[in-house]
Amino acid sequence: MKKLLMLFAVVLTFTLAHALDKGKWTGFIGDDKCGVKGNNKDHADCAKSCVDGGAKPVFVVGTKVYAISNPEKVAKFVGQEVTIKGTITNDVLEIKSVK
């Protein structure tokens, strides 16, 4: 029983460490309608138009698209390449700062 509990504790520790990814990333602020297509400067006008039309802003890094829990922090950066500091939990980004 003790071995099983110890194994569970180790697995839980690694799972939590993976689930809470804190750091700094560079990518583009796109829109949830186009997703990965927003991973370049050529998509800026489309991203702005989509967000103005009601789409949600997202953070695109490579082929990964992250929802943003506090989109007001990126409102003036839609379509731009940015560096974000924050926390990612279950593919949702909580932004601490944007540059």
- pTM, two decimals, is 0.77
Amino acid in the structure at residue 2: K
Residues of the chain whose pLDDT is less than 70?
A: 1-21
With beta carbons less than 8 A apart as the criterion, state whether 94 and 87 touch. yes
* Amino acid 38: pLDDT: 87
Give the per-residue SS3 of the chain. CHHHHHHHHHHHHHHHHHHEEEEEEEEEEEECCCHHHHCCHHHHHHHHHHHHCCCCEEEEECCEEEEECCHHHHHHHCCCEEEEEEEEECCEEEEEEEC
Domain extent listing, the chain: 22-98
* Amino acid 51: pLDDT: 97
